Structure 1
Amino acid sequence: MPDHRPLRPCDSAEPHRLAFSVRRCRRSLRRPACCPVLHLRGELDVAATPTLLVAVARTLTPGRARPGLVLDVGALTFCDAAGLTGLLRTRRLADAAGTPVYLAAPPGTISRLLALCDLERCFPLHPS
């Protein structure tokens, strides 16, 4: 059985650095948000998917439809099959709450992954 090696070594110089993070957008009086925005940063993989799903569940209110949920994926550096499954599970959670999911600023790697899996129509782009 091969040795398991963590993605980030425990004794790295930056132990506080996260491989993945989700941050809610703060609304301002000058520019109110049309719908909730989650900013995804880092690597979306099997270790990060639960964090994404918890953030989405906290953002969506059951029984209260919203105009949409925007996932800002512009700062994602990596997404594998587990991350793609996390995005699909996010969409399923949002559909159950009556809320469409939009992607904002997808980098080329994410766009290519969605195109390869024929999922572009599942995740429409948000205009801003």
Structure 2
Amino acid sequence: MANERVNRSPLSAREGKVYLDGALIADTCKFQVVFKPDVWSGKQLSEPGTNRRWIGYDIEVTIEEWKTTRRYRNMIDSYLKDGKTPELTIQGVQTDKNSDFYATNKSETVTCVGCVPTDDINLIDMDTDGDVVKESIKFGAKRLA
């Protein structure tokens, strides 16, 4: 027990930046990258348990941001004009200099390549009970860089 380390300053989820094709998304309020393994499972004779192995994967990226640009509308307009699917590079950099994580690792960077929007994109959002517009866009990524 003497060598057990106690996390006294956990990593804050509020510290970091998100970049889309190298441009800072200054109005990001939430960012998440999830690796989803495609798992094969099967049984063999004489083994009571199930065997599993990864045979592929999917990467899902979600960006929530306060709407301050026409970023996604411009992607739609471009697609409608030329028929080319938008493919983006999205990078998240998490830094919390006051955390135990930072003292050991400095930062956590994840770069997703070949990101394509995969969910609904609101063209306009108005609500008498609302205050400001927040966009939540999901992407599928080809790979991590």
So what's the TM-score if we normalise by structure 1?
Answer: 0.27
So what's the TM-score if we normalise by structure 2?
Answer: 0.25
Q: Which has the higher relative contact order, 1 or 2, with Cα contacts under 8 A spaced 6 or more apart?
A: 2
- Larger Rg belongs to: 2
Kindly indicate which of the two structures has a greater share of residues assigned to strand: 2
Kindly indicate which of the two structures has a greater share of residues assigned to helix: 1
